[in-house]
Amino acid sequence: MAVILYEPEIPPNTGNVARLCAGLDLTLHLVEPLGFGLDDRHLKRAGLDYWPLVKLAVWPNWAAFKAAWTGGRLVATSARSGLNFAQYRPAPDDGLVFGPETRGLPATILEEADEVLHIPLKPGIRSLNLSTTVGFLLGAALALGRPSRV
């Protein structure tokens, strides 16, 4: 499984996701433009001293990422539409795609995704924090995928 952050904007969110990817031994793909530099102190601080353990790939744009993707399904995320995450049946080579914090994934990426997931939220709550969403969905994917791997 891999995590793909499309045009992330907030360095501490990306740092938290990088730390999670290091801990779970997952590749983190960052699709530019980024809202920060890879030398940003907030990014580095959130990732702590785990950066050497992060399997990181940085892509200049979505087209370059897609052309190089050798994994399985691309599973996009949306705050407003898609399959309830609890119905997701993860595969080990899935790539989970997350959009920028302020606007989410563009319609073109949602339309070309193999699947779109969302986390149902209480009315009035627009979305969750990006790093929280990544952690939540990775945890769900690990839990939901466990029976098929036994």
For the chain, the domain total comes to 1
DSSP 107-126: HHHHHHSSEEEE----TT--
- Overall pTM > 0.85: yes
CATH number of the domain that residue 63 is part of: 3.40.1280.10
Contact (CB, 8 A) for 20 and 138 = yes
Name the residue range of residue 12's domain. 2-149
pLDDT tens-digit readout, 22-78? 999 999 999 999 988 888 676 666 556 788 899 999 999 999 999 999 999 999 999
The CA distance from 82 to 56, in Å, is 28
Could you tell me the two tokens for 46?
A: 């959130």
